[in-house]
Chain A
Amino acid sequence: MHVVVDLNKCQDHGQCVFSAPSVFSLDGQGKLAFRAEASGTYVSPSLGEDHRDDVEEAADVCPLQAITVED
């Protein structure tokens, strides 16, 4: 399972951080930390099933609907 974030859609609301703090974080400027690792689209490393409920919640609550969970 991976999370995919459309960094062009993302507007750094941070709701994902509150739902899945083990996966998402904001940097010191309040920007999604993945922006340092990718531009355009961020694809996470493979995540364990124990993250699934949290990352699905993060995808649901993203105001821009910029997060997808892919198997």
Chain B
Amino acid sequence: MATDRVVVVGASMAGLRAAEAVRKAGYAGEVVVIGDEPHMPYNRPPLSKTALGTAPDDLSFRIPRHARDATWRLGEPVTAADLSARTVTLSGGDTLGWSGLVIASGLRPRRLPLPGPDRCVIRTLEDAARVRAALRPGTRLVVVGAGFVGCEVAAAARTLGARVDVVAPERVPVERPLGPLLGAALQRRHEAHGVRFHLGTVPVEYREASVVLGDGTELPADLVVEAVGCTPATEWLAGTGLDLTDGVLCDNALRAGGRPDVVACGDLARFPNPLFDAVPRRVEHWTMATDTGKRAGTTLARHLTGAVGDEPPFAPLPSFWSDQYGFRLQSYGAVGPADDVRVLEGDPDGEVAVGYHRTGRLTGVVLLGLGARYAHYRSLVTSAADLALR
């Protein structure tokens, strides 16, 4: 008899949601989730925030009822896949057959290719624990990278009384995701809290107790955190014929390689979202792990159970947040590639709503504070998207 098994490669949030959705959509065969970390799926956002100050309570996700009979193989990475034979191979040498494959292996932190003493990153529980153990009042911390993770680490470390320098090649922090208007506003907030920025430059040398920058500055450093983005963990898919350019290329239903029995989800799934355009993109937002996990699991289960009919197009609204000092940044919609960015309400140095427009259409809103206005601005973005879908 042919294998009747769904294998989910990746035991983080997207993998969990996919495993749940496969069962919820009616698949009755075996579900196996394989993870390289030795932990059940856990919530990562606190790792760059509160978890740097005090050890977090258990961050594990509850296992929802539809995922309770899944089999978990943790602490054992998948090293290879064979899409013709329908197998995956684990690092211990075991080979596991499947009738459906979910690719949810996520990202790993990028590292700067510089020699010198070891640097910290923030991706796993162990990473956060290592930084937490080293952060003390007065610790001289150099954060390399001024994206969200870098800014959150800087804020958490300042809150703990560390001395913080942030180094990044951009003109302002979070310039690529949010643009110069909000980037400059966030920089002012950090500077008001005592963070020193070194922008338009990069580290060129790591020494035992310092970091040397391209402009010649030498920053004393007891601790260095590299937060320079992530790359998709797709090495195990090499040679499968899948398009692995920046993640795993998928269709709108999250099928990969044009196959009905292979789907991808989470940070590495590159798919077109008809809310905005036809360009396949990866979206590294927390909410997208759940949205894509559920959709990928449903797509796969419908194939495996012979369900008929089409699901509606997959058009999830991107959404993310960031907590820094006492304020929250909340984003709805697409805010990256915009040709017109302007304040809709408030003041960038206080509470503000900033609108992102493409060719005259509102595609996204970012709020600093203004919690009571979330529903209003979210509905503005979804209404504009609904109009565009028609």
Residues of A within 8 A of B (CB): 11-15, 17-18, 26, 28-31, 56, 59-61, 63, 65, 68
B43 touches A65 (CB 8 A): yes
Q: What separation, in Å, do the CA atoms of A26 and B328 have in the docked complex?
A: 16
B62 touches A68 (CB 8 A): yes
Which listed residue (B17, B286, B374) contacts A14, Cβ 8 A?
B374
Smallest beta-carbon distance A69→chain B, Å: 9
Smallest beta-carbon distance B260→chain A, Å: 25
Smallest beta-carbon distance B375→chain A, Å: 7
A56 touches B62 (CB 8 A): no
A-B pairs, top 7 by smallest CB distance, nearest first, are: A30-B371, A30-B372, A14-B374, A60-B290, A29-B372, A61-B290, A65-B43
Smallest beta-carbon distance B333→chain A, Å: 13
The reply on B257 being an interface residue by CB < 8 A is no
Which listed residue (B17, B330, B378) contacts A60, Cβ 8 A?
B17
Residues of B within 8 A of A (CB): 17, 43, 45, 61-62, 64, 286-287, 290, 319, 321, 323, 328, 330, 370-375, 378
B321 touches A26 (CB 8 A): no
B378 touches A18 (CB 8 A): yes
A60 touches B64 (CB 8 A): yes
Can you add 16 more A-B contacts, CB < 8 Å, to A28-B372, A30-B374, A60-B17? A11-B323, A11-B328, A12-B371, A13-B321, A14-B371, A14-B374, A15-B319, A18-B378, A30-B370, A30-B372, A31-B371, A56-B64, A61-B290, A63-B45, A63-B286, A65-B61
Smallest beta-carbon distance A40→chain B, Å: 15
Q: What separation, in Å, do the CA atoms of A62 and B290 have in the docked complex?
A: 11
Q: What separation, in Å, do the CA atoms of A68 and B157 have in the docked complex?
A: 32
Which listed residue (B45, B287, B323, B371) contacts A15, Cβ 8 A?
B287
Q: Report A-chain residues with C-beta under 8 Å of the C-beta of B371.
A: 12, 14, 26, 29-31
29 A–B pairs (Cβ distance < 8 Å), ordered by A = A11-B323, A11-B328, A12-B371, A13-B321, A13-B330, A14-B374, A14-B375, A15-B319, A17-B375, A18-B375, A18-B378, A26-B372, A26-B374, A26-B375, A28-B372, A29-B372, A30-B371, A30-B372, A30-B374, A31-B371, A56-B64, A59-B64, A60-B64, A60-B290, A61-B287, A63-B43, A63-B45, A63-B286, A65-B61
Smallest beta-carbon distance A67→chain B, Å: 10
B321 touches A63 (CB 8 A): yes
Which one of A12, A18, A29 has the highest number of Cβ atoms from chain B below 10 Å of its Cβ?
A18
Smallest beta-carbon distance B13→chain A, Å: 9
Smallest beta-carbon distance B78→chain A, Å: 25
Q: Report A-chain residues with C-beta under 8 Å of the C-beta of B328.
A: 11
CB-nearest residue of chain A to B382: A18
B62 touches A65 (CB 8 A): yes
CB-nearest residue of chain B to A31: B371
Q: What separation, in Å, do the CA atoms of A28 and B321 have in the docked complex?
A: 20
CB-nearest residue of chain B to A21: B375
Q: What separation, in Å, do the CA atoms of A12 and B328 have in the docked complex?
A: 11
Smallest beta-carbon distance B382→chain A, Å: 9
Q: Report B-chain residues with C-beta under 8 Å of the C-beta of A15.
A: 287, 319
Smallest beta-carbon distance B318→chain A, Å: 13
Q: Report A-chain residues with C-beta under 8 Å of the C-beta of B45.
A: 63
Q: What separation, in Å, do the CA atoms of A60 and B374 have in the docked complex?
A: 19
Smallest beta-carbon distance A18→chain B, Å: 7
Smallest beta-carbon distance A45→chain B, Å: 21
Q: Report B-chain residues with C-beta under 8 Å of the C-beta of A11.
A: 323, 328
Q: What separation, in Å, do the CA atoms of A60 and B292 have in the docked complex?
A: 13
Q: What separation, in Å, do the CA atoms of A18 and B374 have in the docked complex?
A: 10
Q: What separation, in Å, do the CA atoms of A28 and B64 have in the docked complex?
A: 32
Smallest beta-carbon distance A11→chain B, Å: 8
Q: What separation, in Å, do the CA atoms of A31 and B328 have in the docked complex?
A: 14
Q: Report B-chain residues with C-beta under 8 Å of the C-beta of A12.
A: 371
Smallest beta-carbon distance B133→chain A, Å: 24
Q: What separation, in Å, do the CA atoms of A18 and B378 have in the docked complex?
A: 9
Smallest beta-carbon distance B293→chain A, Å: 9
Q: Report A-chain residues with C-beta under 8 Å of the C-beta of B286.
A: 63
Smallest beta-carbon distance A1→chain B, Å: 12
Q: Report B-chain residues with C-beta under 8 Å of the C-beta of A59.
A: 62, 64
Smallest beta-carbon distance B317→chain A, Å: 9
